[in-house]
Amino acid sequence: MRTVKSYPEAWPLHTPFVIARGTRTEVKVVVVEIEEDGVKGVGEATPYARYGESEASVLAQIAALLPALQQGMTREALQQALPAGAARNAIDSALWDLAAHQQQSSLWQLSGVTAPEDVVTAQTVSIDTPEAMASSALALWQHGATLLKIKLDDNYITERLMAIRAAVPDATLIVDANESWHAEGLAARCQLLADINVAMLEQPLPAGEDAALENFIHPLPICADESCHTRESLAALRGRYEMVNIKLDKAGGLTEALALADAAQQQGFAVMLGCMLCTSRAIRAALPLVPQTRFADLDGPTWLAVDAEPAIKVRNGQLIIAASAAD
pLDDT digits (tens, 9 = 90+) for 210-242: 999 998 999 999 999 999 999 999 999 999 999
Phi and psi at residue 250, to the nearest 5°? -75, -45
Strands 22-36 and 3-19: antiparallel
What's the maximum distance between 2 C-alpha atoms anywhere in the chain?
A: 60
Q: Which of 10, 8, 56, 6 is closest to 34 using CA atoms?
A: 6
Which of 28, 40, 149, 151 is the catalytic position? 151
How many Å from the N-terminal Cα to the C-terminal Cα in the chain?
25
pLDDT digits (tens, 9 = 90+) for 65-107: 999 999 999 999 999 999 999 999 999 999 999 999 999 999 9
The reply to whether 162 and 291 lie within a common domain is yes
Q: Report the distance separating Cα 117 and Cα 147, nearest Å.
A: 18
- List the domain range (segments joined by +) for residue 248: 118-324
What is the residue-wise DSSP string for 83-99? -SSHHHHHHHHHHHHHH
Phi and psi at residue 142, to the nearest 5°? -70, -20
Q: Which helix (H) or strand (E) holds 201?
A: strand 198-202
Is residue 149 annotated as part of the catalytic site, yes or no? no
- Domain C-terminal end among 52, 69, 104: 104
Is residue 247 annotated as part of the catalytic site, yes or no? yes
Q: What radius of gyration do the chain's Cα atoms show?
A: 19
The reply to whether 137 and 93 lie within a common domain is no
In a domain, 239, yes or no: yes
The reply to whether 44 and 193 lie within a common domain is no
Structure pTM? 0.96
Which of 5, 40, 149, 247 is the catalytic position? 247
Give me the sign of the Cα torsion angle 44, 50, 55, 58. negative
Whole-number percent of the chain with pLDDT over 90: 95
For residue 322, what pLDDT is reported? Answer: 60
Which CATH number goes with the domain that contains 76? 3.30.390.10
The reply to whether 62 and 143 lie within a common domain is no
- Domain C-terminal end among 50, 80, 104: 104
pLDDT digits (tens, 9 = 90+) for 12-60: 999 999 999 999 999 999 999 999 999 999 999 999 999 999 999 999 9
- Domain C-terminal end among 104, 132, 156: 104
